[in-house]
């Protein structure tokens, strides 16, 4: 690392910009984010700079530039747009002992300007030491998407409350824990939802009631991990993983998804695998609730979307019954992931205007649903957890007049490197599942178009 990143206080410090054109205006825009006293050296100013001068935002010096102009400055930007002129000014600025940035001449720069993500007072600076400025801008875009626009205002609010907290909690782990809870807890969630006044009152109430012996109640997030690929997680899901103290995850969650979590977050496997006993739902409810009672931020990580055949209702009701706050973070469900992989929409104008998501696995003791009632013309049906029910699905559909030649697309291990796409029909579904050794997780997609489906030709199998 040739350049060391750091933040410089510029309040009441002089920053000199040499140049009166667009290049100088770009540097001026950057410095206007600070509290520096900005002086522009140029004979004439382009309209934007002139307007800033007229508003008193900058000072203008049109006299011939000398070494004295660069004395006692925090930093100098040479941006005349004339390379030889900037080189001459560089000599003067260095004689005056200035720290200098020369636009587009990195060999003459003592300092370089990073790409900035501004959530004042939270500021993220990205630099590549001039090697790849385009990459720095790309990273900035990614971080802009990660950081909530209201983060800076919440940080400023917390800053105003620091003295009150310090008066009640001595420095150390207790105080760190308090602020950790604030920045990942209810106050922050309410603040970023737009209820800033309510969040402020909540924070003040929390501070007024501070008690070192008080046990802070945690929070439970039921988070959708998507169908497999980790880049299909939502930004909110990633945020919850990075805020979590403990993560309870299922068998179908890809290990790469867990890499997005905090390194020191505890990970607890609660899924079902071959040769092992599954965790009963009541036991899962108990462990996530007990973790929240200990003050931990809990993530219950489920494949797909927790609200789609994910038993989210049972876990939410269990948490709410004991007064623990719980939220549902949606994920990309397997049907959407499969449609994307197949390159074909789940609904098509004029052909399928109804989408049905159906499960192949019901509550123990309950009869299988009558899927044929849902398979009307104009319907796309997606069957979840239905591989073992292939024969039952075929019999149910055929016995109620659904054409046996209707195609069924099988997508196994959606969005993962192990994904397979297999084409079958209603009539041949059980044989296809058996001969192709289809395993869960997989979805079955049946498209019953409004247009008559008639063919005397058998539908061949294709494996991708």
Between 101 and 212, residue with greater pLDDT: 101
Q: What is the pLDDT of residue 24?
A: 96
**Per-residue pLDDT band at 346 (split at 50, 70, 90):** very high
Per-residue pLDDT at 341 exceeds 50: yes
Q: From residue 455, give the alpha-carbon distance in Å to each of 347, 402, 405, 452.
A: 22, 14, 8, 10
Fold annotation for 14-113: Rossmann fold (3.40.50)
Q: What is the pLDDT of residue 209?
A: 81
Q: From residue 302, give the alpha-carbon distance in Å to each of 68, 224, 289, 313, 417.
A: 65, 5, 16, 13, 19
**Does the domain spanning 219-329 belong to CATH 1.10.533.10?**
no
Whether 272 is a known active-site residue: answer yes
Per-residue pLDDT at 4 exceeds 70: yes
- 48-57, 155-164, 216-225: range with lowest mean pLDDT: 216-225
Q: What is the pLDDT of residue 57?
A: 95
Q: What is the pLDDT of residue 454?
A: 42
For 335-448, CATH gives: 3.30.950.10
Long-range contacts of 111-120 (CB under 8 A, 24+ apart): 111/75, 112/3, 113/27, 113/30, 114/5, 115/139, 115/140, 116/30, 116/33, 116/140, 117/143, 117/144, 117/147, 118/33, 118/152, 119/147, 119/149, 119/151, 119/152, 119/155, 120/33, 120/152, 120/156
Whether 2 is a known active-site residue: answer no
Write the pLDDT tens digit of every residue in 364-384.
777 778 898 888 899 999 999
Catalytic residue among 272, 286, 353, 370: 272
Catalytic residue among 86, 181, 245, 250: 250
Q: What is the pLDDT of residue 280?
A: 87
Per-residue pLDDT at 456 exceeds 80: no
Q: What is the pLDDT of residue 212?
A: 46
- Report, as an integer, the average pLDDT of 278-295: 89
Per-residue pLDDT at 275 exceeds 70: no
């Amino acid at each position: 690392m040739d350049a060391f990143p750091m933040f410089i206080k510029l309040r009441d410090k002089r920053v000199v910009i040499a140049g009166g054109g667009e290049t100088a205006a770009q540097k001026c825009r950057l410095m206007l984010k600070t509290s520096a006293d900005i002086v522009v050296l140029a004979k004439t100013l382009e309209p934007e700079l002139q307007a800033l001068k007229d508003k008193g935002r900058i000072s203008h010096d049109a006299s011939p530039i000398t070494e004295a102009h660069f004395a006692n400055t925090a930093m100098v930007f040479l941006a005349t747009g004339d390379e030889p002129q900037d080189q001459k000014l560089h000599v003067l600025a260095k004689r005056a002992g200035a720290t200098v940035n020369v636009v587009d001449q990195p060999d003459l720069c003592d300092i370089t300007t990073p790409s900035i993500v501004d959530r004042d007072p939270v500021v993220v600076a990205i630099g590549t030491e001039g090697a790849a400025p385009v990459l720095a801008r790309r990273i900035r875009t990614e971080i802009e998407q990660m950081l909530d626009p209201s983060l800076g205002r919440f940080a400023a609010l917390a800053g105003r409350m620091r003295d009150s907290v310090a008066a009640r909690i001595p420095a150390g782990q207790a105080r760190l824990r308090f602020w950790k809870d604030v920045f990942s807890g209810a106050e922050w969630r309410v603040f970023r939802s737009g209820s800033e006044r309510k969040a402020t009152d909540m924070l003040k109430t929390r501070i007024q009631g501070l008690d070192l012996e008080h046990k802070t109640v945690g929070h439970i997030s039921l988070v959708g991990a998507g169908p497999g690929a980790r880049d299909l997680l939502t930004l909110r899901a990633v945020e919850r993983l990075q805020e979590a103290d403990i993560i309870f995850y299922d068998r179908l969650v890809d290990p790469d998804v867990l890499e997005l979590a905090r390194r020191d977050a505890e990970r607890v496997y609660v899924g079902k695998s071959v040769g092992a006993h599954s965790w009963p739902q009541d036991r899962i409810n108990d462990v996530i609730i007990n973790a929240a009672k200990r003050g931990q931020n809990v993530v219950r990580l489920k494949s797909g979307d927790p609200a789609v055949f994910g038993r989210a209702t049972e876990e939410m009701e269990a948490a709410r019954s004991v007064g623990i706050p719980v939220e549902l973070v949606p994920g990309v469900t397997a049907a959407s992931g499969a449609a994307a992989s197949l390159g074909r929409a789940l609904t098509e104008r004029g052909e399928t205007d109804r989408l049905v998501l159906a499960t192949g696995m019901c509550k123990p003791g309950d009869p299988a649903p009558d899927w044929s009632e849902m398979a009307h013309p104009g319907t796309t049906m997606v069957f979840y957890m239905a591989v073992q029910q292939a024969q039952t699905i075929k019999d149910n559909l055929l016995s109620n007049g659904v054409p046996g030649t209707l195609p069924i697309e099988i997508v196994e291990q959606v969005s993962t490197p192990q994904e397979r796409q297999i084409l079958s029909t209603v009539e041949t579904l059980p044989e296809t599942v058996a001969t192709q050794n289809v395993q869960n997780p997989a979805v079955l997609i049946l498209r019953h178009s409004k247009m008559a489906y008639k063919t005397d030709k058998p539908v061949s199998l294709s494996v991708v």
